[in-house]
Every structure is written in structure tokens, then in C-alpha cells.
Structure 1
Amino acid sequence: MGNTKAKPTATELTLQQINLLRANTNFTDYGDQLSFAFDLYDIFDDGLIDQTELYELNGGIHDRTGDHNPKTRAAEIIASLDVSGDKKLCKEEFISGCKSDPYLREIFAPNV
């Protein structure tokens, strides 16, 4: 009979809320903004981002901009950046991968 910690549910943010959040945070380098983005996407606060977390917060953006299926895109991003092969991204994998991919850098750190 242990104390079981329930996983939090994802809160869906609108594109307007995400843009407002990004506009009101002032970063001077990619690393800081990508670290902030990682913490934002880490819904379960376990130091990792999985496909569900990435889709929950980013899915709506792709739906509205006409990109292909957001669940597929989340899986592609995970596969592309996942160095360890665990189908999750740690902060280092996320930051390093986004820094080397101009498309992802624009999505996750557009204001730097």
C-alpha cells in the first residue's frame, strides 16, 4: 500500500497561448530557449519527452498549419533525435537535436 503518484493529464494549449508564452519569454541563446521548451513539453515532469507529450502540446500547431499528421510528425521527431533508442528524449538529446535541425530549431526556439 504505497503512495502512488498519479500522472498529470496534459493541458491543451492553443496556438495563441503558445505564441503569447514564447513572446513573453526573453532568451538570448538557443540552449536557454530549448531548455525552456523541453521543460514545457515534459508534462509528466520525469526529465523525458515521449511521443504523447510531444503530440499533446505540438499537435494543434501542425493541424492548423496544414502539416501532415501531428502524431506521425511527433513520432518522426522522437525517432530523429533519440540517440539512446528508448523512444523518449532526455533534455540533452532534445537540445542537441534541435540545435542541429533548422526546422526543429524554428519550431522550438523561434525567437532567438
Structure 2
Amino acid sequence: MALTADDLVLIGRGRLIAAQSVREFIAAYTRSKLVVCTSDAEALQAGLGAEGATARREGPDTVVVDGLDADRVGEVAAGAGVRVRELHTRESSLEEAFLAATAEAGQYSAGQRELERKAAA
């Protein structure tokens, strides 16, 4: 859908949630993250944590960073003597934005529907 639509209108529980371009919608409801590949992910994660960033491991040589820009991540890595093989921004998807935007707008969840079906039986 993100590749075919330019604009979207999202309604939940009878109220307008969003009416904007797909790009604006994704930016409004999600945050992009930095992905860093290094042979010393543990040291990088520790250094980023000391800077106040949220840094979580995503595999043995990959750290996903939230809370610092790419320049600062590079500075922290250099200061810690950590060699960076790759540094790129991971943009969020339309699906992630939709789930974030509608988290409070859903009337039922799949689990709730199943419970209601069983209770009615």
C-alpha cells in the first residue's frame, strides 16, 4: 500500500485519526532508528548507553540505536575505539505507523473476539 498510495485517510471508532500523505503519516507515528554493524557490538552498546541512547542488540554484530543522530553515534564509536562497518537509518513501515496510530482506536482485539465467541457458546 505504501508504494501505491500518496495520501491516506484513517478513521477509527468514528473519528478522524489522520488525513495526510503516507510519508507524513509514517513520520508522525513512528521514529526511524540507526542500525550499526560492528565487530565489537558490546563495547558500542555500552558507550551508547553511557550517552543516554537506547541501544539494543539485534544479532551478534548489530546494534539498533534510538536517541542519537548518526554523527554522534560515529563519535561515540570512535571515542570507544570501535570500528563501524555499516551505519544506516532504518525507516519505519506504513504498517508500523498504522499499528501505532490505531493502538487506542481499536474496539476489539483478536484475543478479545475469541473470548467473546467462547462466552457466547
Structure with greater Cα Rg: 2
TM-score interval, normalised by the smaller of the two chains: under 0.3
Q: TM-score, normalised by structure 1?
A: 0.27
Which has a greater percent of helix? 1
Q: TM-score, normalised by structure 2?
A: 0.26
